[in-house]
A = this chain, B = another copy of it.
Amino acid sequence: MSSNKQPVALAKAYRLLNHGPVTLVSSAASGQRNVMAASWVMPLDFDPPKVAVVIDRNTLTRELIEASGEFALNIPCRSFASQTLAAGSISGREHDKFAELNLLTHAASQISAPLLDGCIAWLECRILDEPQVQQRYDLFLAEVVAAWALPEVFGNGHWQDTPAGKRTIHYQAGGAFFSTGEQFSVSSDDCRQ
């Protein structure tokens, strides 16, 4: 599934996150790697694109990101919801999530963290040096150094019309998600008769 991914122009990379989908954060350092789910992710700037993400201080992911200075945001689709929940429910300290959840990966272009097969978009990120908010709030700010998407899902800088199974998903709590619904457009004049 990942083999036909295409680069996303960096100035359009924020659009992969703008609508608030859940993400999977992958990381690697010193021969270890891990993946966890994160909903607390948002764009922080357009160009160069930056993101903000909350990474709990007790996670293995935190350790790997602090060691490597890098992570990837993998954007799952509905058919990947169970893996997303599982990756957010067990710890990489006790589980090899890649083996247990049958997760396949491919190499990123700019960073050492692996990219997950079966996702529909990917952002390769390098953290910015902001130790104060990292320590106080578990908040990581990062620059997006490469971005990718399946062109049938996100092409020419826009989300395409795709069947629900290929759309992103939005996490609530306790295993419950919202699916991403249909697209619609409005005019700002509609409310000014």
Decide: A15 near B173, CB < 8 A? Known: A44-B54, A86-B191. Answer: yes
Q: State the CA gap A133–B20 with chains docked (Å).
A: 22
CB-nearest residue of chain B relative to A43?
B40
Q: Kindly supply a per-residue 1/0 record for chain A positions 49-86, scoring 1 wherever the CB is within 8 Å of any chain B CB and 0 otherwise.
A: 01010100000000000000000000000100111011
Q: Kindly supply a per-residue 1/0 record for chain A positions 21-36, scoring 1 wherever the CB is within 8 Å of any chain B CB and 0 otherwise.
A: 1000000000000000
| Chief secondary structure at chain A's binding surface | mixed
> Which bucket holds chain A's interface residue count?
35 or more
| Residue numbers in B under 8 Å from A100 (CB-CB) | 192
Are the CB atoms of B192 and A183 closer together than 8 Å? no
Q: State the CA gap A167–B172 with chains docked (Å).
A: 14
Shortest 3 CB-CB contacts between residues of A and residues of B:
A20-B20, A181-B181, A179-B181
